[in-house]
Amino acid sequence: MACKIGETARRPPLPRLPFQTALLLAPLAYAIHHGEEHLLFNFREWRLRYFPDNNALSTEAVLVVLSGVTLVYLLLHATLRTRVTACAAILFLMATQVHNALFHLGGTIAFSDFSPGLITALLLYVPVNLLIARSALQEGLVTKVQLALLFLGGGALFWAFEFVGPPVLLVTTAATWLWAVGSAFRTARRAA
């Protein structure tokens, strides 16, 4: 098919990435982001200049925990396939990736000091999570209002983690996993 002068070729629409598949991009984004923060730059040193030292975990431990927890959210959703499991996964990613991107951007601006991790936070975390959110909306797993509430909840969790430390992650993860599994059992009991 040749285009005539002045005509523009139509691009086929991007293929739709299912929510469950889009979620798989999150652990990959963690790994690449961690590389920027700790292999290319020294995020911990930057963070300690401006924030309290309330996290005794090594950066490698944080990467392993975040990746592992995310994989459990992925498995929960792949197994149960409910709106609650989708919301739990999105809430976790809003806290650990989307608000992390805002943190890096805000820190860079507020302190006039490049925050290591800014590049991958903006180039990976934001687009990956927009893709996840779009897939969840298209599949009817969340509404726009629920997505906005998950964004706000993720922000509260992110800042609680920044100022309190790892116990916030532990409590949040346990609570959302119980919420997801409990919801699936209630749904199964009603269906029986």
The four Cα atoms 32, 37, 38, 40 give a dihedral, to 10 degrees, of: 80
pLDDT of residue 149: 98
Could you tell me if 51 and 119 are in contact, meaning their C-beta atoms sit under 8 angstroms apart?
A: no
pLDDT number for residue 162? 84
DSSP symbols for 91-141:
HHHIIIIIHHHHHHHHHHHHHTS--TTHHHIIIIIHHHHHHHHHHHHHTTS
Domain range summary for the chain, segments of one domain joined by +: 20-49+58-191
What integer pLDDT is reported at residue 53 of this predicted model? 83
Predicted TM-score (pTM) of the model is 0.88
Query: Looking at residue 14, what is its pLDDT?
Result: 59
Please report, in tens digits, the pLDDT of each residue of the chain (192 residues total). Answer: 555 666 666 666 656 899 999 999 999 999 999 999 999 999 999 999 998 887 778 888 889 999 999 999 999 999 999 999 999 999 999 999 999 999 999 999 999 999 999 999 999 999 999 999 999 999 999 999 999 999 999 999 999 988 888 899 899 999 999 999 999 888 888 888
Position 7 scores a pLDDT of: 63
The pLDDT, as a whole number, for residue 60 is: 87
Angstrom distance (rounded) from CA 137 to CA 132: 9
pLDDT of residue 6: 63
CA 70 to mean position of chain CA atoms: 9
